[in-house]
C-alpha cells in the first residue's frame, strides 16, 4: 500500500486514471455497478426506441392485465403497458438524480470550500447552517421546500438540491481544512497566487475525490427521494410517467394489479443498488480513507 | 455529569429558536399574500379581518414572529383553516400513532441492526458477513413506502396473517414498524460492523486474547460494549430519519399519525397545521439528539469530562 501512495505522487494524473480503471476491471462488484448505471443511462437516452408501446397509449379493453408475452410487466388501470412506462420513467429518474445532485454538489462545494479556506466567523456561520440542514430529515426538508416552490419536476430538483448540499459542504470543508496546510499550497502562495487560484485551481482538484464518491451514492438517494415525493403526489405531473407517480397510482389497485407497483419498485431498487455498489468500489479505487466519508 | 446535562439542555434552546424562525418564515416565503394562504374557499370579509387580527398581519414581521412565539409557548398554534379546529388539538390527536410507531421502529431497528452487525463482524469475510451486509445495503436503499406495499401484498393479502391497515390493535403496528425499522437497521448494522472490527484490533482486546479469555466473552462483553458508543450516536442523529421514513409509511398503512396530518395539510395548503406539525417533528428530533447525547455521555465517561 505504501508503494502505491508513493507512485501516486510521481505518476501524472492521466496515468493515475488509467491505473484506477485497471483496478476497477478487477473488481466484480464495481463492474456490476457500472453495468447497471450504464444500462440505466442508455435506457433513459434511447427510451423511445426501447419501449415497445407508447407510454400514454390507453387501451381500455386491456385494463389491469397480468404480465404476459405481449405485456411482459402487465398493464395498468388505463390499459397502458407498464414496461414501456418504466422505460420512459427512467428519464425523469436520471434527469432528477443527476441534475439535483450536480446542483447540490455545486452549492455544497462552494460553501464548504469557503468555510474551510477562510475559517473564522464565515466558517462558524456556514457550518451552523450546514449542520442544521444536515441534521433534519431530508424528506421533511424536501416536503417543506415543495410546499414553498410547488410540485413538478423542476421544483423537485430544486428541493432535492437544497436538501442534499449539506453533506457535500461538510466533506469539502474537511478536505480543504486538511489540505491547505500542505507545503505545495505554501509554495504556490509564495509564488504570488491569489486565494482564488489556490482554492479553485490547486486545492479543489485534490479535495474533490470523496465528493465524487458521495455524489455517486447521492444520485441513487436522490432518485429514491424523487420517487418518494412522486409517491406523495408532489413529483412529475401526469401524463409524464415517473416511477414514484406510477406506484402512487398503483396503490388504489394494489389488490387487483400488484405488478403496477412491484416492477417500478424493482427498477428503482436495482438502480439505487448499482449506484451504491459503484460508490463503495470507488472508495477503494480512488484510495480514499474510509473515515473521510463519515 | 450534571454540568454536562445542563449544558446540553440549554443548547437545545437556541436550536429551537432557529428552527422556529425557519418554520415561521414558511408562510411568508410562499409566493403570494399570507392572507391568501390563510383563506379557504368561500370565506367572508369578517373572517379575513379576524385572520389579520389573529396573525397580526398588519404588524411588522418581527412583531408577528414574537406574537406567534408567545402564542405557541402558551400552547396556541392557531387553528386549522380547513378543519376549523385548534392545531394543538389536531396534533395531540395524531401524536400517539406516530409515537408508538416511531418508538417501536427504533427499538426494532436497534435490536436487528446490532445483531446483524455482530454476526458479520464475528464472521468477517464469510458468507454470513456478505449476506448480512447485503441485507443491510438493501435496507438502506429500498424506499420505505415500497417495502410497506410489498409487505402488505405478502403478509396481508397473500398470507392473510396481518391486517392491511388500521391503527387500533397491536397486530396493525407490526407491519409498519418492521417497514420503518428495516432502513434504520441497515445503517446500524453497517456502523456496528465497522466499529466492532475497529475495537477488535485494539491492544486491550489482543491482551484479553493473550490472557486466554474465550472468544465469545471477548466479543460480546468487551468489543461490543465499546463498539456500541458510535452506534448510539448514529441512532440519535438518525432519529429524524426514522420519523421521516414514518411519514410515508403512515400514508401506505393509512395510519393517522403526524405524517398523514402533515401530508394532507400540505395538499390543502393548510399552513397553520403545516407549521404545527413541522414544529412538533423538529422538537422530536432535537429531543432525540439530546437523549442520544445523554446516553453517549453515560456510556463513555470521556465525553462528559471533555466538556468541563
**Over the stretch A218-275, which tens digit does the pLDDT of each residue have?**
898 888 888 888 888 777 776 678 888 888 877 777 777 778 788 888 888 888 888 8
CA-CA distance, A86 to A221, in Å (whole number)? 18
Burial class (CB in 10 A: 0-12, 13-18, 19+), A178: middle
How far CA A85 is from CA of A133, A139, A155, A232, A274, in Å, comes to 35, 25, 22, 19, 21
Separation in Å, CA of A193 to nearest CA in chain B? 39
The 10 Å Cβ neighbour count of residue A213 is 23
| pLDDT tens per residue, range A156-184 | 888 888 888 888 888 888 888 888 788 88
| pLDDT tens per residue, range A26-73 | 777 778 888 888 888 888 888 777 777 776 767 667 666 677 767 667
Looking at every residue in chain A, the average pLDDT score rounds to 78
Instruction: For residue B149, list chain A residues with Cβ-Cβ distance below 8 A.
Output: 247, 251, 254, 261, 265
pLDDT: which is higher, A292 or B299: B299
Separation in Å, CA of B228 to nearest CA in chain A? 17
pLDDT > 70 fraction of chain A, expressed in percent and rounded: 85
Q: Is the dihedral of CA A244, A246, A249, A254 positive or negative?
A: negative
CA-CA-CA-CA dihedral for B76, B82, B85, B88, to nearest 10: -40
CA-CA distance, A2 to A5, in Å (whole number)? 5
CA-CA distance, B304 to B292, in Å (whole number)? 13
Burial class (CB in 10 A: 0-12, 13-18, 19+), A284: middle
Instruction: Kindly state the cell numbers that stand for A275.
Output: 449506484
Q: Which residues pair with A81 in a beta bridge?
A: A75
Predicted TM-score (pTM) of the model is: 0.80
Q: Is the dihedral of CA B2, B8, B13, B14 positive or negative?
A: positive
Instruction: For residue B157, list chain A residues with Cβ-Cβ distance below 8 A.
Output: 254-255, 258
CA-CA-CA-CA dihedral for B228, B231, B236, B241, to nearest 10: -150
Q: Which residues pair with B87 in a beta bridge?
A: none
Whether the complex's predicted ipTM surpasses the cut of 0.85: no
What is the enclosing helix (H) or strand (E) of B269? none
With H, G, I as helix, E, B as strand and everything else as coil, classify residue B79: strand
Instruction: Tell me, yes or no, if B149 comes closer than 8 A to chain A by beta carbon.
Output: yes
The beta-carbon neighbor of B266 closest among A143, A220, A224 is: A143
Residue B79 — φ and ψ, nearest 5°? -120, 155
CA-CA distance, B249 to B181, in Å (whole number)? 11
The beta-carbon neighbor of A139 closest among B247, B285, B289 is: B247
Instruction: Kindly state the cell numbers that stand for A106.
Output: 455545486
Amino acid at each position: 500500500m505504501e508503494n502505491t501512495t508513493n507512485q501516486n505522487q510521481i505518476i501524472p494524473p492521466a496515468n493515475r486514471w488509467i491505473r484506477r480503471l485497471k483496478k476497477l476491471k478487477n473488481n466484480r462488484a464495481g463492474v456490476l455497478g457500472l453495468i447497471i448505471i450504464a444500462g440505466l443511462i442508455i435506457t433513459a437516452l434511447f427510451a423511445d426506441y426501447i419501449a415497445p408501446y407508447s407510454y400514454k397509449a390507453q387501451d381500455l379493453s386491456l385494463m389491469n392485465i397480468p404480465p404476459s408475452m405481449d405485456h411482459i410487466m402487465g398493464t395498468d388501470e388505463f390499459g397502458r403497458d407498464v414496461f414501456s412506462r418504466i422505460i420512459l420513467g427512467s428519464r425523469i429518474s436520471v434527469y432528477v438524480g443527476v441534475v439535483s445532485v450536480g446542483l447540490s454538489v455545486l452549492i455544497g462545494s462552494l460553501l464548504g470550500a469557503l468555510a474551510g479556506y477562510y475559517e473564522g466567523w464565515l466558517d462558524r456561520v456556514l457550518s451552523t447552517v450546514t449542520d442544521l440542514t444536515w441534521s433534519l430529515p431530508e424528506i421533511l426538508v424536501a416536503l417543506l421546500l415543495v410546499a414553498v416552490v410547488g410540485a413538478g419536476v423542476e421544483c423537485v430538483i430544486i428541493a432535492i438540491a437544497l436538501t442534499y448540499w449539506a453533506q457535500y459542504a461538510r466533506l469539502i470543508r474537511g478536505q480543504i481544512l486538511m489540505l491547505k496546510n500542505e507545503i505545495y499550497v505554501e509554495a504556490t502562495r509564495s509564488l504570488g497566487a491569489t486565494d482564488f487560484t489556490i482554492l479553485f485551481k490547486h486545492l479543489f482538484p485534490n479535495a474533490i475525490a470523496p465528493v465524487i464518491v458521495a455524489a455517486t451514492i447521492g444520485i441513487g438517494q436522490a432518485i429514491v427521494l424523487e420517487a418518494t415525493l412522486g409517491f406523495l403526489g408532489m413529483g412529475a405531473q401526469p401524463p409524464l410517467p415517473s416511477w414514484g407517480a406510477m406506484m402512487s397510482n398503483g396503490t388504489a389497485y394494489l389488490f387487483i394489479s400488484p405488478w403496477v407497483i412491484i416492477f417500478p419498485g424493482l427498477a428503482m431498487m436495482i438502480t439505487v443498488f448499482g449506484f451504491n455498489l459503484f460508490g463503495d468500489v470507488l472508495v477503494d479505487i480512488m484510495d480514499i480513507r474510509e473515515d473521510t466519508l463519515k | 455529569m450534571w454540568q454536562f446535562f445542563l449544558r446540553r439542555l440549554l443548547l437545545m434552546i437556541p436550536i429551537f429558536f432557529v428552527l422556529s424562525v425557519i418554520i415561521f418564515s414558511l408562510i411568508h416565503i410562499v409566493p403570494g399574500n399570507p392572507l391568501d394562504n390563510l383563506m379557504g374557499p368561500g370565506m367572508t370579509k369578517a373572517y379575513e379581518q379576524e385572520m389579520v387580527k389573529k396573525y397580526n398581519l398588519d404588524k411588522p414581521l418581527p412583531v408577528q414572529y414574537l406574537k406567534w412565539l408567545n402564542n405557541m409557548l402558551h400552547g396556541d398554534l392557531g387553528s386549522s383553516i380547513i378543519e376549523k379546529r385548534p392545531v394543538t388539538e389536531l396534533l395531540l390527536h395524531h401524536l400517539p400513532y406516530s409515537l408508538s410507531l416511531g418508538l417501536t421502529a427504533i427499538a426494532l431497528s436497534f435490536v436487528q441492526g446490532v445483531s446483524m452487525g455482530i454476526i458479520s463482524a464475528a464472521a468477517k469475510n464469510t458468507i454470513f458477513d456478505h449476506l448480512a451486509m447485503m441485507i443491510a445495503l438493501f435496507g438502506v436503499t429500498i424506499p420505505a413506502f415500497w417495502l410497506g406495499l410489498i409487505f402488505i401484498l405478502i403478509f396481508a393479502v397473500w398470507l392473510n396473517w396481518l391486517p392491511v391497515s388500521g391503527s387500533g390493535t397491536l397486530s396493525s403496528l407490526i407491519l409498519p414498524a418492521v417497514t420503518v425499522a428495516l432502513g434504520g437497521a441497515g445503517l446500524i448494522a453497517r456502523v456496528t460492523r465497522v466499529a466492532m472490527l475497529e475495537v477488535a484490533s485494539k491492544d486491550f482486546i489482543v491482551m484479553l486474547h493473550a490472557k486466554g479469555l474465550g472468544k465469545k466473552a471477548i466479543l460480546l462483553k468487551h468489543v461490543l460494549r465499546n463498539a456500541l458508543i458510535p452506534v448510539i450516536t448514529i441512532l440519535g442523529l438518525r432519529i429524524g430519519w426514522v420519523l421521516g421514513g414514518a411519514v410515508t409509511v403512515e400514508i401506505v398503512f393509512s395510519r393517522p399519525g403526524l405524517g398523514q396530518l402533515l401530508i394532507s395539510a400540505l395538499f390543502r395548503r393548510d399552513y397553520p397545521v403545516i407549521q404545527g406539525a413541522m414544529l412538533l417533528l423538529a422538537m422530536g428530533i432535537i429531543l432525540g439528539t439530546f437523549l442520544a447525547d445523554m446516553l453517549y455521555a453515560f456510556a463513555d465517561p470521556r465525553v462528559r469530562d471533555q466538556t468541563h
